[in-house]
A and B are shown apart, each in its own frame.
Chain A
């Protein structure tokens, strides 16, 4: 039972991550695969605040989201000023560079990771409490994204995505909208990072490497980029899949690359044969592909 409850915690975290990543890549059309670094920023901020300042858990998680929000805005501003294409390169550089810094700085625990994050929920129902919180946050994030996209701002985003040139010609500031979407999506990832840090009580730089990027990209592409429920379906599917492989009892040296091969094969297969994903947006379906 504990196993399934732990899975539910991860499910909530990954739904938050994939939905927020979809806001950036699917709705904003922003090319970045560095979402895990904002997840890491949230996790490290929360973990450090909890260890050194014994901050209230809710505040520490929100601070994690805040740090991710601000740093993503600072990262995207210079890149988007030039062209959206530069964001991918800057974001990969930021991800690899920041992880390099985390590995070499002592207060983050270095390459061996940050442990001893205080346990905020005692007792046998710890995992169940975290599962409820994590799934609730995921539901709120999905609802907030839905609310954002269905309102007037959503129509602005859709107009920008459909024809950025015409959108800018009407006097609208496309860069500001992209920057906002990037910051909001990254902020949500930071919040997910905070929950992750409190639940596992240990974080290390290698948990936020390129494999995480591949996993999130797979969730969004397989589920359906630019659709509201696609990333949710993608997250559920992609989290259950490794559990199924886990029963094969393969050595860990084979397991991690095998997962990577499966994720990337799925992305390639969907990219060519079903670009709209499992739950594609109506617009993409009518276009017949990516």
Chain B
């Protein structure tokens, strides 16, 4: 029999821990939606964002908030530089999707190796201590980090929602995502839409890395594994549905957390890969009610036959 307070604790911890994963998933899904590129370079940019904040705070003794600001500036600059001088060049050449894939992957690996060369491969965290104060609410331990993470994530998603649906730039981004050629024809600045997309992705990535870096230690390769989570969430959510990717990230995170009841903790990491294959096999266009109905249809047809004993 599972204790209710333990179950609540796991659910809450899973929700809080999914905060940064949501931000990474939304950043990835947004770039896929608007720029139509599987931006694997996000993993490298995530590492860059973290190490810039880490260096500013720990090596140059700059206050944490200012360090986050410096990290944000570096992340946005790296994103825009990559889009303007990398992706745009490939777009101008009408390069095949293979070249885009190779480019984003190699940028990611380049940044990871460069950071490993500069900072080494010893795990480091943003703060000297990753412990934070705790509060007990109805038997559930809620740390100050949990509250900060949930508030930051909800706040950023709310701002993103308002930006996407209530501003002209957000609507232009949706138009560019739908048809860049037609958008250009109607006078929409496609380049600006791409730049704004990467600026937003930079903000989400920096916030995510700040949250992650204040809770755990990382090495330059860590973001690659985290990126896979974002990719699976994007696939599960369905292409072009950025808030569905956020929901998928929460679900994945909760399933990972709750799996502790079923499988040993050392195998928990594998759940992600199992989900990857399930998603590719059964939900390549994302999870939707319609897809569920399609999958369940043969079962519902067969059911009466079984009942009849045929």
**Footprint of B on A, CB under 8 Å?**
25, 29, 31, 33, 78-79, 82-83, 85-86, 88-90, 92-94, 96-97, 100-101, 104, 210, 214, 217, 221, 253-254, 256-258, 260-261, 264-265, 267-268, 271-272, 275, 289-290
- Which residues B140-158 have CB closer than 8 A to chain A? none
Task: Check B38 against A268 for contact (C-beta < 8 Å).
Answer: no
- Which residues B96-138 have CB closer than 8 A to chain A? 96-99, 101-103, 105-107, 109-110, 112-114, 116-117, 120-121
Instruction: Give the interface size class of chain B.
Output: 35 or more
With A78-B280, A275-B99 already in contact, 5 other A-B pairs whose C-beta atoms are closer than 8 Å: A88-B101, A97-B270, A210-B109, A257-B116, A267-B102
Q: Which residues of A are found within 8 Å of B273, using beta-carbon distances?
A: 93-94, 96-97, 100
For B44, give the chain A residue with the smallest CB separation.
A264
Q: Which residues of A are found within 8 Å of B112, using beta-carbon distances?
A: 260
B103 to chain A, nearest CB (A): 6
Bound: A88/B99 CA distance, A: 13
Instruction: Tell me, yes or no, whether B217 is within 8 Å of chain A by CB.
Output: no
Task: Check A268 against B93 for contact (C-beta < 8 Å).
Answer: no
Task: Check B38 against A217 for contact (C-beta < 8 Å).
Answer: no
Instruction: Tell me, yes or no, whether B53 is within 8 Å of chain A by CB.
Output: no
Instruction: Tell me, yes or no, whether B189 is within 8 Å of chain A by CB.
Output: no
Task: Check A268 against B103 for contact (C-beta < 8 Å).
Answer: yes
Instruction: Tell me, yes or no, whether B276 is within 8 Å of chain A by CB.
Output: yes
- With contacts A210-B109, A214-B106 known, is A79 near B98, CB below 8 A? no
1/0 per residue, CB under 8 A from A, across B64-104: the answer is 00000000000000000000000001000101111101110
Q: Which 3 A/B pairs are nearest by Cβ-Cβ distance?
A: A97-B273, A260-B113, A264-B110
B272 to chain A, nearest CB (A): 8
Bound: A264/B220 CA distance, A: 15
Pick from B109, B267, B272, B276: contact of A104, CB below 8 A.
B267
Task: Check B96 against A290 for contact (C-beta < 8 Å).
Answer: yes
Pick from A25, A89, A210, A264: contact of B98, CB below 8 A.
A25
Q: Which residues of A are found within 8 Å of B117, using beta-carbon distances?
A: 254, 257-258, 261
- 22 sample A-B contacts, Cβ–Cβ < 8 Å, listed by A number: A78-B277, A78-B280, A79-B280, A82-B280, A85-B101, A90-B276, A93-B228, A93-B276, A96-B273, A97-B272, A100-B270, A210-B109, A210-B221, A214-B109, A221-B102, A257-B121, A258-B117, A260-B112, A261-B114, A261-B117, A268-B107, A271-B106
Task: Check B106 against A85 for contact (C-beta < 8 Å).
Answer: no
Task: Check B276 against A85 for contact (C-beta < 8 Å).
Answer: no
Task: Check B106 against A267 for contact (C-beta < 8 Å).
Answer: yes
Q: Which residues of A are found within 8 Å of B224, using beta-carbon distances?
A: 210
Bound: A254/B120 CA distance, A: 8
1/0 per residue, CB under 8 A from A, across B208-229: the answer is 0000000000000100110010
* Residue from the set B101, B113, B225 with the largest chain A CB neighbour count within 10 Å: B113
Bound: A105/B98 CA distance, A: 35
Bound: A96/B117 CA distance, A: 23
Pick from A78, A89, A261: contact of B110, CB below 8 A.
A261
Task: Check A86 against B280 for contact (C-beta < 8 Å).
Answer: yes
Instruction: Tell me, yes or no, whether B298 is within 8 Å of chain A by CB.
Output: no
Task: Check A264 against B95 for contact (C-beta < 8 Å).
Answer: no
Task: Check B99 against A85 for contact (C-beta < 8 Å).
Answer: no
Bound: A104/B101 CA distance, A: 31
Q: Which residues of B are found within 8 Å of A261, using beta-carbon distances?
A: 110, 113-114, 117
Q: Which residues of A are found within 8 Å of B96, using beta-carbon distances?
A: 29, 290
For A220, give the chain B residue with the smallest CB separation.
B102
Instruction: Tell me, yes or no, whether B309 is within 8 Å of chain A by CB.
Output: no
For B266, give the chain A residue with the smallest CB separation.
A104
Bound: A289/B92 CA distance, A: 11
Q: Which residues of A are found within 8 Å of B101, using beta-carbon distances?
A: 31, 85, 88
Q: Which residues of B are found within 8 Å of A86, using beta-carbon distances?
A: 280, 284
A83 to chain B, nearest CB (A): 8
1/0 per residue, CB under 8 A from A, across B271-310: the answer is 0110011001100100000000000000000000000000
Bound: A33/B93 CA distance, A: 23
Instruction: Tell me, yes or no, whether B47 is within 8 Å of chain A by CB.
Output: no
Bound: A92/B113 CA distance, A: 18
Task: Check B95 against A289 for contact (C-beta < 8 Å).
Answer: yes
Bound: A171/B242 CA distance, A: 37
Q: Which residues of B are found within 8 Å of A217, using beta-carbon distances?
A: 102, 105-106
B201 to chain A, nearest CB (A): 19
Task: Check A290 against B284 for contact (C-beta < 8 Å).
Answer: no
